[in-house]
Structure 1
């Protein structure tokens, strides 16, 4: 018996038409996996340039990885995962990591199995579908749609054009937004957020030193980027307190956010795994660290002189309803009574 596993890639790869590929096998946990070349699935994305050639020869876009899992039999009961998700994750992760290394291509993104698009179907040895049977499944899978949204309402539009004519967003603000955009890639997100906080405190202290007429030569020596005399931690404590009378360590929540993000960034930089208190952080924990950076910035802003404060924007929260069918008046009336957030994604019945 065998099970066919199809994994959707986030970005298609280019495969030469008719090329000869070896078909390797991998074994783990009592299962044998046969790994086939990348394939184009039936739901491949529509691309702006749908036709492709490689080195003067025809090629095609492939958006799927196909594996076959071989075993004498599989447990197809509804409440049993066979093969176990842990084993599938191990094999899929190794396969993608090998391809990333062999191609040196960042376009092949790590696959977050099982939080990705995949489908596993059970087959007979001759490739035919298994028979229907009560209490047994013929396949399993997950369909993932990732999206983000921003609401541009009348107030957002007004605020955008009420900013000063010479307004430029602070570089640290751009870095923090980019950190959120980098999620769910943990390493990239925590590094961008940590650099954003470092940039923020550096620019803030420079502005405070100029405002208080600190000797420029002395300040250049203290804050020299190549050889800073104060660590980022000391900038948020000792130097900040010298200028505004407050240290970030006074706010337990903001201080914890800063230190956890700092440690996650350092462990990722030195060991390749973002960790806090000796434990690798999850995607959800990375998201908390990144959004927590804004807590640090907000706290410091409260302590700054008015002329050094940037415009503070607090977009309102909205309720969002997404549907594959026409939204009725009753749906709108119901949503008007619900708290902010995404409350309903209705599928066709």
Structure 2
């Protein structure tokens, strides 16, 4: 039944008064304002590149901005070439949102969302739309969707890899290496850090067994590296005058991909092989060095730091077995690995300590060689 309201008004004339009765409906917006209002306040997706049949990790927050509680609802994820929901969008999946009191929200952790295999390559926005099944009467039905800030690229599916055997591949690689060291002894302390990025390309062979990669070996055809080295140290002279030394320098250079006349290479053995997981990029070189003066308490140069700080690209060099994480994505033809380790030393009596850490993060993109 429609609610009606009676409004009385009185007009006073020279003689008698007249009472007028006006009857009309309650404005629709007044009733609608008391309903729930479901909106998506934030949404994100990673990675930003995926192949048809691959998956994304999606997060969103669905909130009730209305004055009344909202019953359970569904938030839907779609891929859209614009920021508007329509029939051309690629539907991904739904998630159930719990009953929400006014001004309360529901946030999902990283939710795995599969991209349909038939999705056309291209650039998309991921939309998250609250109350996708239109089961909740809301005060505003036009603010349910929100798009990711960054676009997602659906790439062409990689070539089908064999279940077993060898495949010749082109390799493009990026490796980030970070090293840290610190030492202390009586009257002396030093700290070093260096960060280097290796970019390169080559050709190699990828071996499969039972549908999984077993090993990859390649030869570099070209490579470059760039990095920064920072060094700080201080100590005491015989006259109890403190001295300090510091330097920071950056170098970039093409790398020599030949060793003793033979091409240098890299290897990866994936988890599950008889040798255990390991990776090697095989281009250990010095990019540069710099003489660093020691300045005493009156600013005089009392000699350079020894040994001279050097910016070096090198692999894990300690005897302890490092930690490895190696992952393979057949959809995007990518191999990623992390190689890291840490060592500490304390002298007898605790008069000297030394600590070192190393981490290499690699990303290789493989393409079957044509």
Normalised by the shorter chain, which TM-score bucket? under 0.3
Structure 1-normalised TM-score?
0.27
**Structure with more strand by fraction:** 2
Structure 2-normalised TM-score?
0.26
Which one has a bigger Cα radius of gyration? 2
